[in-house]
Structure 1
């Protein structure tokens, strides 16, 4: 069967369910799968756990799923500029599992590589280490972190081909590749869709074997913070 779907809603059909764990690529508003996020909002799916570096802003990106109360838990490293994220967390409405940024990236990569867990010194002696197994190697203490294997991964790429091979543009690579690896089902949205053989194999970041569905569409690519200077 082909991997190309006409819309984000069609690509999510038969995959998206209540209560699932979703790995979402992007960093802030850079490289986020905005079309798939909007389709998840329209679907009404609820009680979602989302593993993502942060949660967008109040009115864009994953933030729109917070506003509709569709996310019950975030696995993140940064609350960021999202006031609603902060409010829900501090009021006890939203469960939050904090991860150091590198640990979160490695948890996703490990899950995609079939590695159930790994030891790291990051977080030892902090609240991050509470309730986790501690082990000593060569006189140094490490904690066990579990790999993340998501029910669904949603990612955004610059270019992709109809076989699901993906190329990310510059910093939009960020968490997209490890998220794509971590999904049992991975759906990618791209700005440009080409035929097999049109992508330079040396430039492919995510091989198509990790991607089950792909869509093409227009993207707003909003800037999180616009900074200007005098002429």
Structure 2
């Protein structure tokens, strides 16, 4: 039988210096804090992180950024993290901003094997600067390249040993998209069950997309708002 479960350090050995890493989550829900803390402990650096926001100061990916491990962040906003805003303003980290829906669609396109998308979102703003602009019918559109990464970190409520994942409530945000758009997918899971215990209709990310499953032995305080019943 397929068994993708592994220890934290064994999975993180595959994340190399200079990698691009997609990180699931929207605020706290769905953020893979254990994987991020493990990566922080390994001192891997020169990273490109892709996440919808930077978490709050002292939390999640902000800890990697504050430690100087991240050279570039691709995101949609930093409004909750004054520390990272100040680092950006001092030139200590490069930040690429996209409207959140466009960021999600770029990732979805990457997972679908598309070269990019065409959108009129931001066509009359600074978002068009330096972009390829095409005309379809009578409308102008910005060509946005698809977005993929070397690695994706995702957080699941349940996983089976073959890597089928179930996300709980609002943790089902960027995680399913990112799990399709990276060359290596590492999932942390609150519960790991045997193959066959998750009904097929309940699977959100099929195991074919997942390379490693790491069990969360204990939910640390960072996960506080995620206290829920795991079936």
The bucket for the TM-score relative to the shorter chain is over 0.9
1:10 aligns with 2:44: no
How many residues align structurally? 222
1: distance between equivalents of 2:51 and 2:61?
Answer: 9
Deviation at 1:53, TM superposition (A): 0.2
Counterpart position of 1:58:
57
Pair 1:157 & 2:156 matched: yes
- Which structure 1 residue ranges, 5 or more long, are not aligned? 225-231
TM-aligned CA deviation for residue 141 of structure 1: 0.9
Q: CA RMSD in A?
A: 1.3
CA distance in 2, matches of 1:166, 1:111: 20
By how many angstroms is 1:219 displaced?
2.2
**1:19-47, CA deviations, whole angstroms, 9 ceiling, x for partnerless residues?**
11111000111110001100110111111
TM-score normalised to structure 1 length: 0.93
**Partner-residue secondary structure (3-state), 1:181:** coil
Cα distance in 2 for partners of 1:38, 1:32 equals 11
Corresponding residue for residue 229 of structure 2: none
- The answer to whether the 8 Å contact 1:9/1:36 transfers is no
How far apart are the structure 1 equivalents of 2:163 and 2:119? 32
Give per-residue Cα distances to partners, 1:121-146, cap 9 Å, x unaligned: 11212222211110111211110111
User: Structure 2 matches for 1:153-192, cutoff 5 A?
Assistant: 153-192=152-191
- Structure 2 unaligned blocks of 5 or more: 227-231
Equivalent residues of 1:98, 1:128 under 8 A apart: no
1:62-115 Cα distance to aligned partner (Å, 9 max, x none): 111011010111000010311211111111111011011011111111111111
User: CA 1:44 to 1:34, structure 2 compared with 1: closer, same or farther past 3 Å?
Assistant: same
Which runs of 4 or more aligned residues in structure 1 lie more than 4 Å from their structure 2 counterparts after TM superposition? Answer: none
Question: Partner residue of 1:78?
Answer: 77
**1:223 Cα deviation (Å)?**
4.8
- Rounded Cα–Cα distance in structure 2 between residues aligned with 1:223 and 1:126: 37
Residue of structure 1 equivalent to 2:137: 138
- 1:227 is aligned to none
1:162-213 residue CA offsets vs partner (Å, 9 max, x unmatched): 1111010111111001111111000000001111111111111111111000
Find the aligned partners of 1:185 and 1:179 in 2 and give their Cα distance.
10
CA distance in 2, matches of 1:82, 1:9: 29
Shift of 1:222: 3.6
